[in-house]
Structure 1
Amino acid sequence: MAPLSSGVLGSLDSTSDRAVFRQIADRLREAIDKGRFKEGAKLPSESELVEHFGVSRMTVRNALSVLQGEGLVHSEHGKGVFVRPRPPVRRLASDRFARRHRDQGKSAFTVEAEAAGSRPEVDNLQVKEERPTRDIATRLGEPRKVLARRRRYLLDGRPVEFAASFLPLDIARDTPIAQPNPGPGGIYARLEELGHRLDHFDEEVRARMPTPAEVKSLHLAAGVPVIHLVRTAYDTEGRAVEVCDTVMAADAYVLAYQLPAN
């Protein structure tokens, strides 16, 4: 960490009407954005910040609280405040479901993890038959029951995503899709083996604050939102064969898209 005397944080503007604690948060945020404090780096201690800016400890704590609320830093008890890691996974929406990946026996999450140089894991797997919600039923053409596959995804041991897939029972019952491990290439590979060659996917994406259950499941820090994505898979006959409801930690992903210009 660069010494504070080097001007890494600058000084406060005594003529500004912006609250002092927010000015301090601004200085720290700027230093992080410019790479003066790298990912995982420890910020100056409260005592160092008090001395540097000539303010009270409570003012410094309020400034750090602003950054924690933005999800920019996190606090470790007895150790200090650290810069949170930047998004490790670049999700290229136009490529992740390419058939060539399924032909290689890879799921979309495996492809993303390999591209990020991370170790993928899946836990909290549940597979069961159930009645769909009104939204899921509408998307799938009003089936009375569906096969639901719920799972959590981790990268290098860190939870980053929770997903639930819903498939019509007339397609999925008594097939490898109903097994905990559906086999190489995942459920999309099995759907195509069953004659449902995939044609396209529709995705709806929005950002929101997480529910308490999502905070717990994804180990989210204060202020970190989630990306809520609902994807519907269609076969070449135009039938909706799967709906996947996914919640992702927003600080774990960059969503990248390639769009045609004609």
Structure 2
Amino acid sequence: MLPAIDSASDRPVFKQIADHVRDAINSGKLAPGDKVPSEAQLIEHYGVARMTVRNALQLVQSEGLTVAEHGRGVFVRRNPPVRRLASDRFARRHREQGKAAFIAETEGAGGKPAVDSIRVTEEDASADVQKRLGLQDDVRVVVRSRRYLINGRPVETATSYVPAAIARDTQIAQPDSGPGGIYARLEELGYRLDHFDEEIRSRMPLRDEITALKLPPGVPVFHLIRTAFAQDGRAVEVCDTVMSSDAYVLSYQLPAR
């Protein structure tokens, strides 16, 4: 049961109602997938106008806690997180088992992985990609863009840039890069991977990212740029990734020496 409005508080009534709904979600009284009390129920409980209740529900939805389903009502958003283990996800054993990192980590979390919207082109490298790959001007790269889904829900988009001198006329330049993904193909080509550098920042999504990831209001994204290095020190791939922040837990194991 939701508490009553504090008439002595100077906090607006719609924000108090939003606080009550938010607290019910965060405490687990309303679990993921549960239906939030309807506008009519909230109006009756609080004795307020419909617009007051509507403003409260919109506030909670803008925070990414709920989703409105047309004709059904408002529900607590399901957020099945995938634990992204930075120290493990690119382990060679996954590639040797024929699994790319996304497949390995999603299956490890009990989810069903899928990839769609695959597009492969050859283009001039941007100034930033040139710098990260250590390329000269006017060098071409093979560009692989794709979208990742967990249990049918879009959670991530990624675009990889591989020097065309490496990837042209190989399976890396095909829509299906084969078991283990492009890192397995790079190692088959003799570029044994040594390490990965990643930069991560959080920001609000751009319009096309909202569309691709079907993001509700209030959900930020992780913007990650990764550079893969071979054992000879050569950068062999740059991957620009946008991740729905509520779908992942970023987990790291850092040595203390």
Q: TM-score, normalised by structure 1?
A: 0.94
Counterpart in 2 of 1:249? 244
Query: Residues of 1 paired with 2:109 and 2:64: CA distance?
Result: 21
Q: Which of the residues 73, 83, 92 maps onto 1:90?
A: 83
In structure 2, give the amino acid aligned to 1:57: R
Counterpart in 2 of 1:186? 181
Matched, 1:173 2:165: no
Counterpart in 2 of 1:157? 152
Counterpart in 2 of 1:30? 23
Query: Residues of 2 paired with 1:187 and 1:95: CA distance?
Result: 17
In structure 1, give the amino acid aligned to 2:173: A
Deviation at 1:84, TM superposition (A): 0.3
Matched, 1:19 2:12: yes
Query: Any idea what SS the aligned residue of 2:132 has?
Result: helix
Query: Residues of 2 paired with 1:13 and 1:234: CA distance?
Result: 59
User: For 1:227-250, what per-residue CA distance to the aligned partner results, in whole angstroms no more than 9, with x for missing partners?
Assistant: 111000011111111000001111
Q: Which of the residues 120, 123, 136 maps onto 2:129?
A: 136
Aligned residues: 255
Question: Structure 1, unaligned stretches of length 5 or more?
Answer: 1-7
Matched, 1:104 2:91: no
Query: Residues of 2 paired with 1:79 and 1:85: CA distance?
Result: 16
In structure 2, give the amino acid aligned to 1:104: Q
Counterpart in 2 of 1:228? 223
In structure 1, give the amino acid aligned to 2:30: F
Please say if residues 87 and 254 of structure 1, whose CA atoms lie closer than 8 Å, have aligned partners that are also in contact.
no
Matched, 1:40 2:3: no
Deviation at 1:116, TM superposition (A): 2.0
Counterpart in 2 of 1:146? 141
Query: Residues of 2 paired with 1:12 and 1:39: CA distance?
Result: 25
Please say if residues 130 and 146 of structure 1, whose CA atoms lie closer than 8 Å, have aligned partners that are also in contact.
yes
In structure 1, give the amino acid aligned to 2:109: A
In structure 1, give the amino acid aligned to 2:255: P
Superposition CA RMSD, Å: 1.1
Query: Any idea what SS the aligned residue of 1:229 has?
Result: strand
Matched, 1:58 2:51: yes
Query: Any idea what SS the aligned residue of 2:10 has?
Result: coil
Query: Any idea what SS the aligned residue of 1:121 has?
Result: strand
In structure 2, give the amino acid aligned to 1:42: K
Query: Any idea what SS the aligned residue of 1:161 has?
Result: strand
Runs of 4+ in 1 over 6 A off after TM superposition: none
Query: Residues of 1 paired with 2:191 and 2:109: CA distance?
Result: 30
Deviation at 1:138, TM superposition (A): 0.8
Counterpart in 2 of 1:215? 210
Query: Any idea what SS the aligned residue of 1:177 has?
Result: helix
Q: TM-score, normalised by structure 2?
A: 0.96
In structure 1, give the amino acid aligned to 2:111: S
Identity of aligned residues (%): 64
